[in-house]
Amino acid sequence: MLNGKTAIVTGGVRGIGRAIALELARQGADVAVFYAGNQAAAEQTVAQLLETGVKAKAWQCDVSDFEASKRCVEEVAKELGPVQILINNAGITRDGLMLTMSEEDYDRVLDVNLKGAFHMMKHCYSQMMRKRWGRVVNITSVVGLMGNAGQANYAAAKAGLVGLTKSMARELAGRGVTCNAVAPGYIDTDMTGQLPEKAKEALMAQIPAKRIGRPEDVARAVAFLVSDEAGYITGEVLRVDGGLAM
Ligand code: NDP
């Protein structure tokens, strides 16, 4: 159980992040959710989190902004206690073939999906080290392992997260802090809702489990990696993809 521990879930007010936040709250953690701009989703998620009996609050915080994310992490520590669990889940897509992909679209995806995780780890890790217990889980993607035409920016960011995860795992292992990644396959959220029907059908045909994943499938894997039982697992990339990227 995670009673008395404070977690931050970035992008925690919709989709996979919300499912993770709720799962951690059910395990007893106090939860801070960071979001980009969807205040209605933030209010709804916080209400759901509070119903579980834990402390919970949302912060509008662009994780790609070093100073803003530092300030928000300090506020979380002051209001909810030292951060011992960090789930870097915030992510965006700006898809396009290399021929048409703008420099701005490349940079933005890297800034949010990869640099944002670096910022958050940098702001949180000393709090975990002081407690000699911490958990970092970075949400990458099977696309970071396999590549995907039309997603060079996204795949580069997600592959980068794997390197970041393994490096931090090595740096922090001796201090009781684990750092792992979870690589979802095709999960039913707003992000994948935007895909054209044809692309969805093509993806489905490649999934041995013959179904789209649910946010809760990912949340349960994250909860396991955060648990005491997973204390000897670090630097791992756990696919949650129904066999898609075997
Ligand atoms: P959604 O688009 O449903 O939700 C994304 C969340 O991230 C939102 O809460 C959004 O905030 C937040 N966010 C976006 N940009 C920022 C930012 N700059 N700073 C802080 N928060 C931000 O995504 P999913 O739930 O589908 O995806 C979650 C993670 O899982 C992502 O990292 C994604 O790449 C990864 N993933 C998803 C897969 C899928 O099939 N869905 C597959 C593999 C990986 P707001 O609500 O305010 O807009």
Number of domains in the chain: 1
Taking Cα atoms as reference points, which of 136, 147, 117 lies closest to residue 34? Answer: 117
Does the C-beta of 190 come closer than 6 Å to ligand 1?
yes
Range of the domain at 65: 6-240
Taking Cα atoms as reference points, which of 226, 142, 215 lies closest to residue 183? Answer: 142
Does the C-beta of 161 come closer than 6 Å to ligand 1?
no
Query: Atom 32 of ligand 1 has which residue's CA nearest to it?
Result: 91
Residue 154 a catalytic site member: yes
Rounded-to-10 torsion of CA 233, 234, 240, 244: -110
Q: Which atom of ligand 1 is nearest to the CA of 38?
A: 47
Does the C-beta of 11 come closer than 6 Å to ligand 1?
yes
Does the C-beta of 89 come closer than 6 Å to ligand 1?
yes
Rounded-to-10 torsion of CA 104, 108, 111, 117: -160
Confidence (pLDDT) at 7 = 98
CATH number for the domain including 159? 3.40.50.720
Q: Would residue 132 be called left, alpha or beta, if left means φ above 0 and alpha means ψ between -120 and 50 degrees?
A: left
Q: Say whether pLDDT at 199 is over 90.
A: no
Confidence (pLDDT) at 194 = 84
Q: Would you state the structure tokens that stand for residue 20, as one six-digit string?
A: 């993770």
Residue 76 lies in a domain: yes
Does the C-beta of 63 come closer than 6 Å to ligand 1?
yes
Does the C-beta of 182 come closer than 6 Å to ligand 1?
no
Among 35, 106, 125, 154, which one carries the catalytic annotation?
Answer: 154
Output the CA 174–ligand 1 centroid distance in Å: 31
* DSSP letter for each residue of 71-128: HHHHHHHHHH-SEEEEEE-------B-TTT--HHHHHHHHIIIIIHHHHHHHHHHHHH
Residue 88 lies in a domain: yes
Residue 140 lies in a domain: yes
Residue 1 lies in a domain: no
Q: Which atom of ligand 1 is nearest to the CA of 93?
A: 34
Confidence (pLDDT) at 196 = 86
Percent of the chain with pLDDT over 90: 96
Q: Would you state the structure tokens that stand for residue 149, as one six-digit string?
A: 């035409």
Mutate to test the pocket of ligand 1, among 189, 194, 237 (most ligand atoms within 8 A of CB): 189
The chain-wide mean pLDDT, for the chain, equals 97
Per-residue pLDDT tens digits for 98-120: 999 999 999 999 999 999 999 99
Q: Is the CB of residue 66 less than 8 Å from the CB of residue 120?
A: no
Cα–Cα dist 105/34, whole Å: 22
Mutate to test the pocket of ligand 1, among 61, 140, 161, 191 (most ligand atoms within 8 A of CB): 191
Residue 62 lies in a domain: yes
Output the CA 75–ligand 1 centroid distance in Å: 22
Q: Say whether pLDDT at 84 is over 90.
A: yes
Does the C-beta of 38 come closer than 6 Å to ligand 1?
yes
pLDDT interval class at 165 (50, 70, 90): very high
Residue 10 lies in a domain: yes
The mean pLDDT of 124-148, rounded to a whole number, is: 97
Confidence (pLDDT) at 111 = 99
Residue 188 lies in a domain: yes
The mean pLDDT of 59-64, rounded to a whole number, is: 98
* DSSP letter for each residue of the chain: --TT-EEEEETTTSHHHHHHHHHHHHTT-EEEEEESS-HHHHHHHHHHHHHTTS-EEEEE--TT-HHHHHHHHHHHHHHH-SEEEEEE-------B-TTT--HHHHHHHHIIIIIHHHHHHHHHHHHHHHHT-EEEEEE--HHHHH--TTBHHHHHHHHHHHHHHHHHHHHHGGGTEEEEEEEE-SB-SHHHHTS-HHHHHHHHHT-TT-S-B-HHHHHHHHHHHHSGGGTT--S-EEEESTTTT-
Residue 208 lies in a domain: yes
